[in-house]
Amino acid sequence: MSGEVYLITNRINDKQYVGICAKILQNGRVHGTLGRWYGKGLRFPSHCERAIIDGVNCDSFLDQAIAQTGPDMFRVITIFHDIPTQNLLRVERGWI
């Protein structure tokens, strides 16, 4: 199993959020994911949804920021990809 490390940047105040994603493979295809971010295609929209539902009372700082500024004010990039799962936390901590 391998994963990715993401960097999400608030374009208004330049605050950054780092997260990881581990891909679960089944028969050679991505079957699911684990982690705080799953990338802008899957996970970021769920943060946006929570921000809309919970507003500024969200549990995470990222969701609160999305609720305050809107999702269009964030840039999501992949820092590293295909990182072995056992190394994901170490790589993520290096960026925090």
pLDDT in tens, 13-38: 999 988 887 765 544 444 444 444 44
Cβ atoms 20, 6 nearer than 8 A: yes
Measured between alpha carbons, how far is 81 from 17 in angstroms, rounded to an integer?
A: 17
Classify residue 90: in a domain, yes or no. no
Classify residue 93: in a domain, yes or no. no
Measured between alpha carbons, how far is 30 from 67 in angstroms, rounded to an integer?
A: 30
Classify residue 8: in a domain, yes or no. yes
Classify residue 95: in a domain, yes or no. no
| pLDDT (0 to 100) of residue 23 | 60
Measured between alpha carbons, how far is 20 from 13 in angstroms, rounded to an integer?
A: 22
- For the CA atoms of 10, 51, 23, 16, the dihedral, rounded to the nearest 10 degrees, stands at 20
Q: Which domain holds residue 52?
A: 2-81
| pLDDT (0 to 100) of residue 43 | 64
CA distances to 2, 20, 69, 71, 92 from 87, rounded to whole Å, are 9, 11, 33, 30, 9
Domain total of the chain: 1
Classify residue 88: in a domain, yes or no. no
Q: Which of 43-47, 57-61, 67-71 has the highest mean pLDDT?
A: 67-71
Q: Which residue has the higher pLDDT, 87 or 12?
A: 12
Domain containing 63 — which CATH number? 3.40.1440
Measured between alpha carbons, how far is 8 from 28 in angstroms, rounded to an integer?
A: 28
Classify residue 33: in a domain, yes or no. yes
| pLDDT (0 to 100) of residue 60 | 84
CA distances to 23, 28, 88, 90 from 1, rounded to whole Å, are 6, 11, 11, 16
Which pTM does this prediction carry?
A: 0.71
On average, the pLDDT of the chain sits at: 76
| pLDDT (0 to 100) of residue 24 | 53
